[in-house]
Amino acid sequence: MTWFSMKGVAPEVEYLYQQARQKVDDGEYQHAVDVLNQAVQISPRIPQVFIELGNCFDNLNRYDDAIISYEKALQIDPFHPDALFNKGMCLKKIGNEVESLKCIERAIELYCGT
């Protein structure tokens, strides 16, 4: 049983997510974005899809889009450490050191269970 099925996510969303992950593994980030956007259309409340979208945008050097994607994940799950950490790293890349540090520190707290 996968995380997606345990959470009651539609099988087609899991399939699209896995397709996107394969595109990412192949370095085809824009194709992965296209596939992930299809998943969002079907089920717009899965934080992991938005995190993967953010990761793709980050790899495409589209940091503002990445940050927006991580923020969408955090709207769904405000305590998702991966979304916070990745958002913090993107904020650092665009020179927002103060907000970056806040996100990264909070992510570390969540990873450590505090």
What's residue 89's pLDDT?
98
Residue 3 has pLDDT above 80, yes or no: no
Residue 111 domain-assigned (yes or no): no
For the record, the structure tokens of 32 come out as 């992965």
Residue 98 domain-assigned (yes or no): no
Q: What is the mean pLDDT of residues 56-79?
A: 98
Residue 114 has pLDDT above 80, yes or no: no
Q: What is the mean pLDDT of residues 85-90?
A: 98
Instruction: List all residues 6 or more positions away from 65 whose beta carbon is below 8 Å from its beta carbon.
Output: 54, 57
What's residue 51's pLDDT?
98
pTM of the model: 0.93
Q: What is the mean pLDDT of residues 29-37?
A: 98
pLDDT band of residue 2 (cuts 50, 70, 90) is confident
User: 18 lies in which domain range?
Assistant: 3-80
Residue 87 domain-assigned (yes or no): no
What's residue 40's pLDDT?
97
Q: What is the CATH number of the domain that holds 54?
A: 1.25.40.10
Residue 7 has pLDDT above 90, yes or no: no
C-alpha gyration radius of the chain: 14
Residue 33 domain-assigned (yes or no): yes
Residue 11 has pLDDT above 80, yes or no: yes
Residue 112 domain-assigned (yes or no): no
Cβ atoms of residues 78 and 65 within 8 Å = no
Domain count, the chain: 1
